[in-house]
Amino acid sequence: MAGRFISFEGIDGAGKTTHVAALAQHLQQAGQHVVTTREPGGTALAEQLRSALLQLPMDALTESLLVFAARRDHLRAVIEPALSQGNTVLCDRFSDATFAYQGAGRGFDLQVLATLEQWVHPALQPDLTLWFDIDPAAAAIRRAAARQPDRFEQQDTAFFTRVRAGYQTRMAAAPARFVRIDSTQPREAVWLAVLAALQARGWLL
């Protein structure tokens, strides 16, 4: 694949989404072709699956199947074509979220998730994953100030503590791919850390 694939991860309330938009704008101003997208979502089908995932009761296996079904559609229709055309793809969450939320958070079988991952994207991983890490109690305060909570946002601090540990485990397994950003910092410091991660790879001046 010719383009770069950058994913953004973290527990709900970590503040990653504003940085997806800011980085897209910054890279475009630097002359890069950028596709911004999100998971679950990014296609008509995947957005419908997202609505179901965020609203309707279901067990962890169903959640896992739906996020990977959404991901399959998203990869085929959006991510893979964009990368083949040399675009930089900024994706708000990808498979690390499944290992963190369904695996660590829900306690679902990691081997089954690894098998689904092999089916859906045997060869592809992000080139860089920015993990916006924040203490679950601090994230809860941020979420409370925001919108009506969905099925995941309604979970308690113990759930998000497990999700956070899930991200830590994913980072330990692929340290070269991950950059952990301390998301308790003021927004400007977080933004500088985002830029520094790309500069360190020579992707930005």
Q: Which residues lie near ligand TMP (CB under 6 A)?
A: 12, 38-40, 67, 92-93, 97-98, 101-102, 152
Q: CA 57, CA 111: separation in Å to the nearest integer?
A: 23
- CB atoms under 10 Å from CB of 86, counted, come to 12
Shortest Cβ 53–ligand TMP spacing (Å): 6
First to last CA, the chain: 23
Q: CA 167, CA 173: separation in Å to the nearest integer?
A: 10
> Residue 90 or 97: which CB sits closer to ligand TMP?
97
Which phi and psi angles does 145 have, rounded to 5°?
A: -80, -10
Shortest Cβ 29–ligand TMP spacing (Å): 25
- CB atoms under 10 Å from CB of 45, counted, come to 15
The angle subtended at Cα 5 by Cα 100 and Cα 9, nearest 5°, is: 25
> Residue 2 or 147: which CB sits closer to ligand TMP?
147
Shortest Cβ 95–ligand TMP spacing (Å): 7
> Residue 39 or 73: which CB sits closer to ligand TMP?
39
> Residue 67 or 90: which CB sits closer to ligand TMP?
67
> Residue 67 or 79: which CB sits closer to ligand TMP?
67
46 close to 39: Cβ distance less than 8 angstroms: yes
Shortest Cβ 126–ligand TMP spacing (Å): 12
